[in-house]
Chains A and B, each alone.
Chain A
Amino acid sequence: MDASRQKGDGGQLGAIHRVLQFGIAEAGVCTPGLRKGFGRQPGSPLAITNGVLRRHWADCASRFGSDVQPHTTMTLPATGIQAQHQQALDQGRFLIQHCGACGRHVYFPRELCPHCGALGPALVAPAGGGTVAAVTTIRRKAELGGDYTICMVELDEGVRLMSRVEGLAPAAVAVGLRVQARVAQANGHGLVVFDAEAAA
């Protein structure tokens, strides 16, 4: 029986397969169902009740013979982590990630922790303090806007990112300078920039 054509689940059964793809498909529990390629369009969050989920497990177990485990509710993220991070920036919030499995911070944001491989490090707000680890001044003709700096900033959480220090002449931005993060808005999008700590 083709699960995608099963009646009476209001489309949720298919949706759950999508959830499993994000959630525990790694366990191989629902591989037969995932192959059907069904599921709703990604984009909106979906909460699933325990009852529906249990019916789904039972259904999968009977049809595919999978060794399924009971599980609590899960939510399908509306978007990938890159869009979530950008959406927060657009709202003025700078977020990095923290991995609950290994306890390390992560930047740039990823679906997997690059340190330990765990799924879905949580988005968290950094304290915002950091140190300039490297700096260069890009030489540009005055008529094109003049020179500007590019920095590598190491946040106090231990992650590094490319950014720039604003409010200082390029020559005043040096390795070791203490800086504080701020979200600037340009063209409708948030961008992480830094100010010298004393000026913050």
Chain B
Amino acid sequence: MSFDLKSLRGSAAIAGVATFGCGESPGFTEMELLARAAYAAVADAGLTMADIDGVCTASVLSAMWPMPVIEYLGLNPSFIDGTMLGGSSFIAHLMPAMLALAAGQCNAVLVCYGSTQRSGTMNRKAVADARRQMDPQPYEMPYEPVMPVAAYALAASAHMARYGTTRRQLAEVAVAARAWARLNPEAFERGPLTIDDVLCARMVADPLTVRDCCLVTDGAGAFVLVRSDRARHLPRPPVFVLGTATACWHRQISAMPDLTVTAASQSGRAAYAMAGLTAADVDVAALYDAFTINTLLFLEDLGFCAKGEGGGFVENGAIAPGGRLAVNTNGGGLSCTHPGMYGIFALIEAVRQLRGDGGERQVAGARVALAHGNGGTLSSQATAILGTAETL
């Protein structure tokens, strides 16, 4: 029996989204933030928790995370996906959830995430030390690479050496993200930021300063996916999943085949093929910007410009408000929120733009949005092409 993924195009829609506790949420546990976001997303979809019969979730801290989530939320799901691919996970959950919905395995999938990375009792150093034991990387750890920033700095170094990309071009990415964040009341960092501010900030790992690095925040995000026929009868405008795909080539940065080409080139190609669209059709791009180099790599690998031309593409405010392409309109991981695994927030921002909920930062007439998640050290890549009803 042959099965074409294109037949899934538009078969499922995101009916509800929510964030909760983004920024600083001292006094909350990860589960509490997750539960609040989950409740709000389900309510946004016009459903109740009793309607949820599918769940997808992942946590940096817990290897068996779906079980406590199911327990805490009182769910009895017929579809469960706890695939953990780092920050791309929640976009990577889309395809298995669509397949489960199409097969009739379940009727409403809740994808949810919560993190207290900023305020939690287990600080990032403790988590990093635990991971050294739980998830050893014996061919890298002896050199003491401060992860993840060292991996992204190495990728930036290779991109600069091969393509002449400059630190100023990297800084353009951070400045554009901040300009969008200034239009988003939910963004954590909303102060003014100039290219010189980025260049003169404290160097962390050359060529990346602290302003080339994402925020460390708390936060939770959730969304609800249902079959499209049902979504049309729910209160909010459905945002249809036109195409989605995931690719993973490696775990360790030293095992990446080419530091300047990510697996987004593969996930993007597959997602566009399923959607029958190209980068030229995309009105809003939400690209996982853990570091400024990410945005350049993903603009290239997802077809917005040729390989090596990402630096030139972003110059002169080209991805800032009023630029040629609206990128990370919420302010991204660089200026809005980054609780550890940002992918779900990229997706939620894409949904908000397609619903017209963007407020001051709304991209006029947005019909097609691309949300892209990155996980590990440029390791796993998941792309989703979303569209309004008129794109079906």
| A residues apposed to B, CB below 8 Å | 82, 86, 107-108, 133-139, 148, 150, 152, 160-164, 170, 174-176, 189, 191
Contact = CB atoms under 8 A, between A and B. Distances in A.
Contacts of B150: 136, 138, 150
Contact of B142 (A135, A136, A137, A191): A191
A150 B154 contact: yes
A152 B259 contact: yes
B140 A162 contact: yes
A162 B377 CA distance: 14
Contact of B254 (A138, A162, A170, A174): A162
Chain B interface residue count: which class? 20 to 34
B199 interface: no
B253 A162 contact: yes
19 contacts: A108-B254, A134-B154, A134-B157, A134-B158, A134-B161, A135-B154, A136-B154, A136-B207, A138-B150, A139-B202, A148-B144, A150-B145, A160-B255, A161-B139, A162-B139, A164-B143, A170-B206, A175-B157, A189-B142
Contact of B259 (A82, A86, A134, A139): A134
A150 B253 CA distance: 12
Nearest to B155: A134
Interface of B: 138-140, 142-146, 150, 153-158, 161, 202-208, 252-255, 259
B203 A139 contact: yes
A135 B145 CA distance: 11
A170 B156 CA distance: 16
Contacts of B203: 137, 139
Q: Which of the listed residues A133, A136, A163, A170 has the most CB atoms from chain B within 10 Å of its own CB? A: A136
Contacts of A148: 144
Given A152-B254, A175-B158, A136 B206 contact: yes
Contacts of B153: 136
A163 to B, nearest CB: 6
Q: Which of the listed residues B153, B154, B156, B259 has the most CB atoms from chain A within 10 Å of its own CB? A: B154
A107 B138 CA distance: 12
Given A139-B205, A150-B150, A191-B142, A160 B254 contact: yes
A170 B203 CA distance: 14
Contacts of A174: 161
B355 to A, nearest CB: 40
Given A82-B138, A108-B255, A160-B254, A136 B143 contact: no
A104 B208 CA distance: 35
Nearest to A107: B139
B182 to A, nearest CB: 29
A14 to B, nearest CB: 31
A164 B145 CA distance: 10
A108 B253 CA distance: 12
A139 B146 CA distance: 10
B205 A138 contact: yes
Contacts of A138: 144-146, 150, 205
B158 A152 contact: yes
Contacts of B202: 139
Closest 10 pairs between A and B when the two form their complex, measured CB to CB:
A175-B161, A136-B153, A134-B154, A162-B254, A134-B158, A108-B139, A134-B157, A137-B206, A136-B205, A162-B140
A93 B144 CA distance: 22
Contacts of A189: 142
A17 B10 CA distance: 52
Contacts of A152: 154, 158, 253-254, 259
Given A160-B254, A189-B142, 10 more contacts: A86-B138, A108-B254, A135-B157, A139-B206, A148-B144, A152-B253, A162-B140, A175-B158, A176-B161, A191-B143
A154 to B, nearest CB: 10
Contacts of B252: 162
B340 to A, nearest CB: 21
Contacts of A133: 158, 259
Contacts of B142: 189, 191
A174 B206 CA distance: 12
Contacts of B208: 136
B347 to A, nearest CB: 30
B290 to A, nearest CB: 15
A138 B202 CA distance: 12
A175 B253 CA distance: 16
A161 B144 contact: no
Q: Which of the listed residues A135, A137, A150, A161 has the most CB atoms from chain B within 10 Å of its own CB? A: A150
Nearest to A170: B206
Nearest to A152: B154
Given A108-B255, A152-B254, A175-B161, A162 B145 contact: yes
Contacts of B155: 134
Nearest to B205: A136
